[in-house]
Amino acid sequence: MSKVTVSGSEILEGSTKTVRRSGNVASFKQQKTAIDTFGNVFKVPDYTIKDILDAIPKHCYERSLVKSMSYVVRDIVAISAIAYVGLTYIPLLPNEFLRFAAWSAYVFSISCFGFGIWILGHECGHSAFSNYGWVNDTVGWVLHSLVMVPYFSWKFSHAKHHKATGHMTRDMVFVPYTAEEFKEKHQVTSLHDIAEETPIYSVFALLFQQLGGLSLYLATNATGQPYPGVSKFFKSHYWPSSPVFDKKDYWYIVLSDLGILATLTSVYTAYKVFGFWPTFITWFCPWILVNHWLVFVTFLQHTDSSMPHYDAQEWTFAKGAAATIDREFGILGIIFHDIIETHVLHHYVSRIPFYHAREATECIKKVMGEHYRHTDENMWVSLWKTWRSCQFVENHDGVYMFRNCNNVGVKPKDT
């Protein structure tokens, strides 16, 4: 264990202290603490999953197929209306600058509702869309295929992510480098030998992550578990025998791939019928931005300077589900079906439909108390700060906290 000075006081990282649990029966347990990236004391959650579930009203679990389908219709109608207006009237604008601005707004708008389509498919994968499994999988397969995400592949790996959120060796996405792995990546023996990233390097690295991160993850399992000895292309979400999946999943992965092929065939057909530009500006460009929205949102939900990860001995489901954060994204939160504002609740009970998630969030906040993470900081600001401050994690007696070599916050141990 190491000492860190916070506000003039020395705190022993990895230490525990005796605290009283909430509830009618007085009891005591050891609550572990650690120091986050900016020197704040992080307290490991001390409540149970039962405490969380008991706080959620039963009606929050109710799913309505009609209501869920109405949101699918909303998003498809919105995309269709934007496409009709844009393709009809933008070419009539009098100069190229106005047309460029209008096409930019066109692509942005379609991408937002396109990400909404992905979110509704995500609801299907969690059985939060309706009470009918075959409906969930049929609608989810169609919606995810439309945005080039292999539905069953995503569903299976994403379920494993939910079962082991924040677990260093079992989580499936945004698994951080350990300090040792970060040194190995840079081929050095000390973190002191790793140069600080320049802001311009960070900008280009962020652009690569935001625009290509999803495709790289699906194709090679980047940011997922390493699976030593397996070629990165055989860890793909498109490969039926990938170690990401169980053997029983084989034909579902094939079906996911067929959905992708069906979409590509439809896009090629649209190109032959309508030409290059309408297909490019209406499907390809928004699809690139849908990839961005997906990486942008999920990265910021699971990466933050205050956020822990745990080793196998320290991890529990209740602790791992709390290792997420709710953020605010204004009007886009409505288009994105509240996926940003209610993600902590989603990790505790993923089958609650999004239209009940805000109410259920208010209920679990009373149980979580100080362990509930929420920020209304501008998400673009958060993206930059998180990228600069969260490069790898250090182990503090089973609790892993983010550190960096950019001179942001608490210095890593071996510098």
Report the chain's mean pLDDT, rounded to a whole number: 91
Q: What is the pLDDT of residue 196?
A: 85
- CA nearest 253: which of 235, 269, 226? 235
Residue 263 pLDDT greater than 80, yes or no: yes
The predicted model gives 96-120 an average pLDDT of 97
Residue 33, both tokens? 């603490």
- CA nearest 310: which of 318, 301, 319? 319
Q: Phi and psi for 243 in degrees, rounded to 5? A: -65, -10
pLDDT digits (tens, 9 = 90+) for 345-395: 999 999 999 999 999 999 999 999 999 999 999 999 999 999 999 999 999
For the chain, what percent of residues have pLDDT higher than 90?
83
Q: What is the pLDDT of residue 29?
A: 53
Lowest mean pLDDT among 94-103, 133-142, 198-207, 344-353: 198-207
The predicted model gives 143-155 an average pLDDT of 97
Q: What is the pLDDT of residue 26?
A: 37
Cα-to-chain-centroid distance, residue 136: 21
The predicted model gives 207-222 an average pLDDT of 91
pLDDT digits (tens, 9 = 90+) for 5-46: 333 334 444 544 444 444 444 344 567 999 999 999 999 999
pLDDT digits (tens, 9 = 90+) for 311-337: 999 999 999 999 999 999 988 989 999
Taking the C-alpha atoms of residue 97 and residue 119, their distance in angstroms, rounded to an integer, is 33
- Cα 344 to Cα 52, 112, 119, 154, 165, distances in angstroms: 11, 22, 16, 20, 11
Lowest mean pLDDT among 55-59, 72-76, 191-195, 265-269: 191-195
| Residue the block writes with tokens 């109608």 | 77
CB 106 within 8 A of CB 88: no
pTM: 0.89
In the structure, what pLDDT confidence band is assigned to residue 415 with cuts at 50, 70 and 90?
Answer: low
| SS3 readout for 296-320 | HHHHHHHCCCCCEEECCCCCCHHHH
